[in-house]
Amino acid sequence: MTHVRKKISVIGAGFVGSTCAHWLAAKELGDVVLLDVNEGAAQGKALDLYEASPVELFDARVTGTKDYKDTAGSDVVIITAGIPRKPGMSRDDLLATNSKIMKEVCEGIKKFAPESIVIVVSNPLDAMAFVAKQVTGFPRERVIGMAGVLDTARFKTFVSEAVNVSVKDIHAIVLGGHGDTMVPMPRHCSVGGVPLQEMLPKEKIDQIVQRTRQGGAEIVNLLKTGSAFYSPSASAVQMAEAILKDQKRILPCAVELQGEYDVKNLFVGVLCKLGGKGMEEVIQLKLNAEEKAGLDNSIKAVEELVSALKKIQY
């Protein structure tokens, strides 16, 4: 039996894209193609990473390119292309520029990697995933936005710090759009199986929820010249790994809802089962009144974003 390595293409060789390539290669998830329109950017970073393989002892070919034909045969494509945020900008401020970039990227993917499963990382996430699905015409199972994994990772980090317990023993969920209206779910958070509410007072939990919502902005304000990249890239790679290894992981992802939570044709962060076919199932939670109000508010923000998007000639 011949075993063929998986192939993952990463579009955009900025900090998020090149760090994605690094995690993918280090985990030996497959051969990696790094693509960037800027001459030499992807080629240089890919070659540099490939030359680390004898030191770190990973078997993964890493190549750089500016030509979409090199993405042919990709199992998974991770899209990180676009401009990052600067201090004072919201993710929504990136809408006009990044929707044009997303359109070009997705035309390349549609042409050369039509069987791939696409993970969108570019911001504003929910709108960019919407563009990706429109342009590729792929079914919803194969266009998935990365936001919930990252927001949940931030939530878990802050909980872990507050209760002084390993991150490995913290389970949490963040739903909704990827922005200030996201909905961390304290009621569904546990520490070693113990409900979070039994571990921390309400005021502390409220502070953690607020810090989670502002997690990206906190890093943008510290960096001054860009946005987060280690945790977003690790989050995208966790999703890619679940798909490539058919793990059936339950992860919060932005997917196009088709009636779930009474929403249609919008990308919203919900719990999903990720496996070899991509997004294999949406798992609906029974929400209480407060959670439902939070999610409705987040959905409204995504709706506004998409109606702004429709006015842009991308």
Residues labelled catalytic: 178
Nearest of 102, 126, 108, 91 to residue 217 by alpha carbon: 91
Strands of the sheet with 170-171, listed across from one edge: 170-171, 190-191, 194-195
Look at strands 264-275 and 249-258 and give their pairing: antiparallel
CA 241 to chain centre: 13
Phi-psi region of 192 (alpha: psi -120 to 50; beta: other; left: phi over 0): left
- CB proximity list for 167: less than 8 A, separation 6 or greater: 156, 157, 160
State the Cα–Cα distance between residues 306 and 134, nearest whole angstrom: 12
